Amino acid sequence: MKITATAITILKRAASLVLLVALTGCAGQSLTPSPTIPSQTSPATNDGSTLRLYVARDCGALDPLFPETRDVQQLMVLTHEPLVRYGADGTLKGCLAENWQHETVGWQTCWTFYLRKGVYFHGDDGMELTADDVVFTMEKLMGSEAQSPYRATLSLIDHYEATDRYVLKVYCKYPLRTLPEAMIFPVVSRRDYGQTAFPVGTGPYVWKPDEDTSALHLEVNQNWWRQSPKIPNIVVRYMADNDAALAAFASRQLDVVPTQNRVAGSYRKEGVSNVISCLSQMFECLIPNVKGGVLSERAVRQAIAYALDRGDIITRAYAGFGLEADVPIAPDDARYDARFSAISTNTAKARQLLEEAGWSPDEESGIYQKDGRKLSFTIKVYPDSRNPSRLEAARLVAQQLGKVGMDVSVLSLTQTQYDRALANRDFDMLYGGIGFSRLPDWRFLVQSGGESNVMGYASAAMDAALEDYFAADTDEACQQAVVRMAMQFIEDLPVIGIG
């Protein structure tokens, strides 16, 4: 994953994603006062037969393999399906693949996936899903230079082939016990991909042509291989931004709105709407430039981590929606270990770390100094409409660090300025969020020379732990490598977790 302003601002686990859900049968009641919304909206009533959602107006093309925004990626879940998906308990479940197994073939590990029979792509003349469609999908993902949230983990694959109409064999460059977790990409039709106005999948809903250009329309896929969905129709309205969507929700013209807005809790109303907090795979963090300046010192980064009261930041900036986190592994992940929550607020420890590293507080200002330079830096932040709380969070960070003798300022940037700062590594520290998959493939971020290693971080110990994870040939060896990765992350703090 390449970190751009767009990607970094899609947050988060701190201030976890919040869903605002309107309850049907209560359309006559209103929520709290809201801004005026455009007149081109659906009626403020809903009989339960239609689910009303939204996407940003600038969400990009409806491409399941190369979505330009998370809006599109999430929307494609309604129309497309992967070989495997995560169940409610966090474990992998079969989807288009009924089951799978692995074996050692020479120096490689071969995973065999057995596809379901009788699964058809959308359309009156929909073709049956075969292993050739999966091969085609993988070829598209691995052969394109375009950014895709699914491509990084596929780089672990050496080659693959369809050995039967319903059998796919995948050969890995490593033993890779966790290869099935990389097979969560949406499968597209070999015949129809790129040839139709709307992408063709096998999922529970199909695109429904409509003259209404202000929205996308979907209806139930009558030929879906699973039990038919209970909601027959979905309307996805284009909205200028999340604020406009919240206004539409308040006026009963949308039924579900995902948001990270700090005022989300105010939309909860008995019998009318509910607010549901959801853990995501986004890691809210401080991103230091470790190639130069005061943040190149590990002791300084450790002092920052101990000086922060992350619970206070989450409470005040994100209205309590979120969990503190030191590493990008969620507590509901089977790989999570209690040792991964290693840092708690300890200002005395923060000062001790600084003084042991040769920093001393100035008698007048109280700001730590060393070799004639102050412990001073700027946090740059891009507070887009989906993450308005980030600016407040950055200011709280600066206030907390100021109390232990650090001179920290906050600079709010536009997206263009933020992109430029990333591209040129023109920053002391950024406040942002980074998306991680459940598969702990952190190479893009913390491997020496990683694609999105904008921090300039390099560690032989981390590189070795990453290599050992992919070379592990048992579940126990995989977990041991994950623990090493996480503990090295906590020791070096290439990024400093908020949650």
Instruction: Answer whether 0.75 is exceeded by the pTM.
Output: yes
* Run of H or E including 20: strand 17-22
Cα–Cα distance measured from residue 129 to residue 64, given in angstroms and rounded to the nearest whole number = 16
Query: What's the alpha-carbon Rg for the chain, to the nearest Å?
Result: 24
Cα–Cα distance measured from residue 408 to residue 368, given in angstroms and rounded to the nearest whole number = 12
Cα–Cα distance measured from residue 66 to residue 60, given in angstroms and rounded to the nearest whole number = 10
pLDDT of residue 385: 63
Task: Tell me whether residue 352 is exposed, middle or buried, using C-beta atoms within 10 angstroms of its C-beta: 0 to 12, 13 to 18, 19 or more.
Answer: middle
pLDDT of residue 176: 79
In sequence order, what DSSP letters do the residues of 324-385 get, joined into one string? --SSS--TTSTT--GGG------HHHHHHHHHHTT-EE-TTT--EEETTEESEEEEEE---T
* Run of H or E including 418: helix 415-424
Cα–Cα distance measured from residue 378 to residue 398, given in angstroms and rounded to the nearest whole number = 9
Sign of the CA dihedral with 361 first, then 365, 367, and 370 last: negative
pLDDT of residue 8: 28
Sign of the CA dihedral with 113 first, then 116, 121, and 125 last: positive
Q: Is the peptide bond before 380 cis (omega within 30 degrees of 0)?
A: no
pLDDT of residue 40: 38
Cα–Cα distance measured from residue 147 to residue 249, given in angstroms and rounded to the nearest whole number = 32
Cα–Cα distance measured from residue 162 to residue 71, given in angstroms and rounded to the nearest whole number = 32
As given in the structure block, the two tokens for residue 94 are 């079969």
Nearest alpha-carbon partner for 179 in 116, 118, 97, 280: 97
How many CB atoms lie under 10 A from the CB of residue 93?
11
* 265 DSSP 8-state letter: G
Q: What is the mean pLDDT of each run of 10 residues along the chain (499 residues)?
A: 30 45 43 31 62 94 93 95 89 95 87 98 92 98 89 85 98 85 95 93 95 93 95 96 92 90 79 83 93 96 98 91 89 88 96 98 96 97 80 97 98 94 95 85 93 96 94 89 97 96
pLDDT of residue 11: 25
Cα–Cα distance measured from residue 105 to residue 107, given in angstroms and rounded to the nearest whole number = 6
